Amino acid sequence: MTTPTISSNQFRSIVIYTTCGTALLSLPTTLANIVSQDAWWIPLVSLLLGFPYVLLIILFGRWFPNDTFVVMLTRLFGTWLGKIAGVLFLLLPFLSAPHHLHFFTQFIMTHFFRDTPSIILTASFMAVVTVAVYRDIEVIGRASELTMFIFIFSVLLFSVFVIQDVDTSYLKPMFQSEPGTYVETILFMNSRIVAVHMIILLVLFPRNIRDKRKAEHALLAATSSLVCFCL
């Protein structure tokens, strides 16, 4: 059976979508509620601290270039511990998918379809994801690559429109919270947003990428672009 593969450009698009995704919708409010005006630099620091995860993913890809993530776990931790870790990993989508569906549904309802029942929008999202998964990773890769321009253009256009409303006075005073609060917030984002999403990428990387060396560069480029976006 032939393993379905995607290009490095498609993989880069998936990395950007995976890392940004609902983070653009939920993180600003979440971080502002915790650290107030210091929320702007927390994502930047977290992404910089997340680069070791990227290097670890690349290292795993070089060690096990043709293995699935579950097989990687069994080789690293042994048969029983590896299978237990694999089962826990497979439970991860069941924990994160409801949150993603909720954020996307609320965003679409708030800005576009205010009179549409949430169940209709949620069912539509679920149907799209189901069809994409059924058609395999190649369809997801093509879709991510085709829509990446729309995503980047929308983000840039939104940034241009809101830049006139930016008030830098809200950045001060800085560091008014307890040091432990900053550490806890950075660890929260580093683990919840960066680490979890990077681990999920091992489902695809490097087994389902045609050019594995270019995929490493795509992973680094996508992560670096996210750091630049935070700046």
Q: What is the pLDDT of residues 137-193, one digit of tens each?
A: 888 888 888 888 888 888 788 778 877 777 676 667 777 777 777 788 888 777 777
Check whether 231 has a pLDDT greater than 60.
no
The CA-CA-CA angle for residues 137, 222, 189, to 5°, reads 95
Q: At residue 68, what are phi and psi to the nearest 5 degrees?
A: -75, 170
Task: Say yes or no to pLDDT of 50 above 80.
Answer: no
* Sign, Cα dihedral of 95, 96, 97, 101: positive
Contact 34, 183 (CB under 8 A): no
Q: With cut-offs at 50, 70 and 90, classify the pLDDT of residue 229.
A: low
Q: Residues 35-48: what's their mean pLDDT? A: 75
Instruction: Return mean pLDDT, the chain.
Output: 78
* Residues 38 and 182: beta-carbon distance below 8 Å: yes
Query: Minimal CA–CA distance to 137: which of 71, 214, 204, 90?
Result: 204
Residue tagged 């919270």 (tokens)? 177
Average pLDDT over every residue of 36-42? 74
Indicate the pTM of the whole model.
0.79
Domain ranges of the chain: 8-230
* H helical segments located in 64-178: 69-77, 79-111, 118-135, 137-162
pLDDT for residue 33: 74
**How many angstroms separate the CA atoms of 193 and 13, rounded?**
17
